[in-house]
Amino acid sequence: MKNLITIVVVVVVALVAFNYFQTGKFSLVPGGGTSQEEKDLNRLKGEFRRAAQAYRQAGRAAGVSGLDTTSDAAAALQTVDGVERDVKALRKRTKDPEVTAKIDDLLAEIKKYKQDVS
């Protein structure tokens, strides 16, 4: 019985963590009541964060092992550029001021990230 409860708790925690990383909100059910624009924004935010993580990982791998990871870093930066382009396109077509504010926050985060890695 303890094992079953432990498994249920682990699954619930994993589901909440997954939803948090995808939507930025703590919930059991993903995307409940969000618009398509907000879903697109959350997807793009996740792509940006994964690309930023890949860039940091490439830097660590180069520092630790001395391997040439420039192609990994370049691919991550290309992904960031693509996400920025898609976010700007989403901003042009969105009407919701709340989503527009979130888009502006993400664009500011991307801009700061690009300044930090340059």
Give the DSSP letter string of 42-75.
HHHHHHHHHHHHHHHHHHHHHHHH----HHHHHH
Kindly state whether residues 7 and 20 are assigned to the same domain: yes
The answer to whether 76 touches 62, Cβ cutoff 8 Å, is no
- Domain residues for the domain of 113 are 34-117
The 10s digit of each residue's pLDDT in 23-35 is 666 666 665 556 7
CA gap 106, 46 in Å, rounded: 11
Kindly state whether residues 13 and 38 are assigned to the same domain: no
Q: Taking the complete model, does pTM exceed 0.85, yes or no? A: no
Higher pLDDT pick, 14 / 20 = 14
Kindly state whether residues 107 and 78 are assigned to the same domain: yes
CA gap 108, 90 in Å, rounded: 15
Q: Is 35 left (phi over 0), alpha (psi -120 to 50) or beta?
A: beta
The 10s digit of each residue's pLDDT in 51-97 is 999 888 877 776 666 655 577 778 888 999 999 999 999 999 998 89
